[in-house]
Chains A and B, each alone.
Chain A
């Protein structure tokens, strides 16, 4: 059995009051696939992710995880939030061990070492840098060996250099563990660096989709890479501007 689980959302509609955020959207990820969703701020990316995580219910349509309709939370899914959401009153090690059964607690030290923070286990989250905090959040998500990892702009507030490091780290961890990933970002370059597939969300629907067939890890200077980033960026901007007008 692959460690990753497939997820499929079909005909998803979600409105807040009269504001329709998702208007009959379809999206799917195969087991172990890395899908990246891009779109401008406010286009409903977080709303979509919350629906995939089971934190919210669609007004219409259905989310299926591993072939089963999603009811409530899927226990083997983990979410990494943009703001990290570490518990300030637990030390780093205890944060990573959150929700682990007593048989699994040794995993906390392991994943903390994997993200390179083994020696920070006894620190309070408040004294960590933004990048370190996101690495702890990532470790916490991976500690329970999830089959599905949902990431909502986890690198959005990091500086460019830390972002690059974190992207490499995320890619390595994903390759090693084999879970299914859905990453949300507004950074097309990040999307092309990480995704098997890049999906453009606009107007409450999927308006573009690109398969990224480049060997990993993907060097930024590579001509094919740059070309694809340029192409996606132009298409996305053209569509988004068309919508605005």
Chain B
């Protein structure tokens, strides 16, 4: 019963939507019925077109995320660990961060044309800063007592990074990852809608030209599903990466005022 309750309202809305279309209150031009959208999806899936566009979009997202996230992570570790790297780089990065990356689209098209690199570049650029910022802040907010302990217990610089700083920053880094995943899809939607010959966004734009509202709605729903999937995988990543963290792991609740990590959600 508990599990059904949250689905009642969406189901009723869907039914009402379908009924409104069937009765003729909603023109198929304006908003096709759920059944029509599903049918369009089935057709596109059958022809293989849907799979192709999905794969292209997913690939762009993944490659851009890995490049931008990787650079952001490394830069954030650098500026977090080393004061000289911080004074050398952080100011510049903070300045660049204020430029909305989507404003770069015309310039990026001039540079790369409408090919793959333009989209990957934009995604990477959008993802870089949230990951950078959260890594940097994560490393900086690691308990100095733990760093001091690490030094007393004979950890070298590299060991200190791997054993203390990176794990200590990981909760913050994952917050950055979740935020960056949102930025990633948004960037991709905009970039594919404006300049692309493949991918979900271009599928939607083509459909618009042929007045295929059902396909347009399908594409919007697909983006929603992909976004949700990305968010769920980030949550899984938290569970997997932070099994020690009382906020993410299924640990028995333990009240201990002396423990700064003992907070439970």
Q: Chain A residues in contact with chain B, CB under 8 A?
A: 53, 55, 73, 75, 77-79, 81, 83, 85, 87-91, 98-99, 124-127, 130, 140, 144, 157
Contacts and interface: CB of A to CB of B under 8 A. Distances in A.
Interface in B237-265: 242-246, 249, 251-252, 254, 256, 258-259, 261-262
Contact of B152 (A55, A125, A130): A55
Contacts of B149: 79, 81, 85
15 contacts: A79-B152, A83-B258, A85-B146, A87-B167, A88-B244, A88-B261, A89-B244, A90-B167, A98-B150, A99-B154, A124-B243, A124-B244, A126-B251, A126-B254, A126-B259
Nearest to A129: B256
B151 A73 contact: yes
A124 B261 CA distance: 12
B256 A130 contact: yes
Contacts of A73: 151-152
B145 A85 contact: yes
Contact of A89 (B159, B170, B256): B170
Given A85-B149, A89-B167, A157-B258, 19 more contacts: A55-B151, A77-B152, A79-B149, A81-B145, A81-B149, A83-B258, A85-B143, A88-B261, A89-B245, A90-B167, A99-B150, A99-B159, A124-B243, A124-B251, A126-B259, A127-B251, A140-B153, A144-B153, A144-B154
Contacts of A78: 152-153
A55 B148 contact: yes
Contacts of B259: 126
A89 B150 CA distance: 13
Of B145, B152, B163, B244, most buried by chain A (CB within 10 Å of CB) is: B152
A55 B151 CA distance: 9
Given A55-B148, A87-B167, A126-B254, A75 B244 contact: no
A26 B215 CA distance: 83
